[in-house]
Amino acid sequence: MKRTQAEVPKLVLGITSLALPVRTTRDRQLEVSARFRESESLAVMMVKGVAAGAEAVLAPPIADVRNALAELNKDLPVLARVPHLSPVDDLRYEPALMFDPADDEDDSVWSANRAGAAAMNLLPVGLAGDLASKVLPRLEREVAVFTPGALRGVVISSAVTDLALAADQAKFVDRLVRYARSRRWLVGFETRNLGHILARLTRWGVAPDFVMGALNPRGVGMMPDAGTVLAAVRESGVKVIATELRAGGMVALDEGATWARRHGAWGVCPELVDMDDVPKELKGLAIRPAA
Q: Which is nearer to another protein, 224 or 237 (CB)?
A: 224
Strand partners, 12: 56
Q: Are residues 18 and 61 in contact, defined by beta-carbon separation less than 8 angstroms?
A: no
Using rule CB under 8 A, residue 232 touches another protein:
no
Site string for another protein, 7-46 (x = CB under 8 A): ------------xxx-x-xxx-xx--xx------------
Q: Which is nearer to another protein, 54 or 222 (CB)?
A: 222
| Rg for the chain, CA atoms, rounded | 19
Q: Are residues 162 and 195 in contact, defined by beta-carbon separation less than 8 angstroms?
A: no
Using rule CB under 8 A, residue 243 touches another protein:
no
| Residue 41 CB coordination number (10 Å) | 13
Using rule CB under 8 A, residue 193 touches another protein:
yes
Closest CA to 28 of 249, 251, 220, 245: 249
User: What ranges in the chain are assigned the alpha helix state H?
Assistant: 26-35, 39-51, 63-70, 112-121, 131-143, 158-166, 170-182, 194-204, 226-236, 253-262, 278-286
In Å, what is the CA distance from 179 to each residue of 136, 140, 170, 172, 208? 9, 10, 14, 10, 11
Using rule CB under 8 A, residue 1 touches another protein:
no
Q: Which is nearer to another protein, 10 or 196 (CB)?
A: 196
Using rule CB under 8 A, residue 242 touches another protein:
no
Using rule CB under 8 A, residue 257 touches another protein:
no
Q: Which is nearer to another protein, 186 or 247 (CB)?
A: 247
Chain residues 59-88 in contact with another protein, contact rule CB under 8 A: 86-88
Compute φ and ψ for 82, nearest 5 degrees: -140, 160
Tell whether omega for the bond before 224 is within 30 degrees of 0, i.e. cis.
yes
- Residue choice 247, 253, 265, 268 for contact with another protein (CB under 8 A): 247
| Rounded Cα gap, residues 46 and 40, in angstroms | 10
Q: How far is the CB of 237 from another protein (least distance, A)?
A: 22
Q: Is the dihedral of CA 78, 79, 84, 87 positive or negative?
A: negative
- Residue choice 42, 68, 131, 238 for contact with another protein (CB under 8 A): 131
- Residue choice 61, 188, 221, 279 for contact with another protein (CB under 8 A): 221
Q: How far is the CB of 26 from another protein (least distance, A)?
A: 5
Residues that bind another protein (CB under 8 A): 19-21, 23, 25-27, 29-30, 33-34, 86-98, 104, 120-121, 123, 125-126, 128-131, 133-134, 158-159, 162-169, 171-172, 192-193, 196, 218-225, 247-250
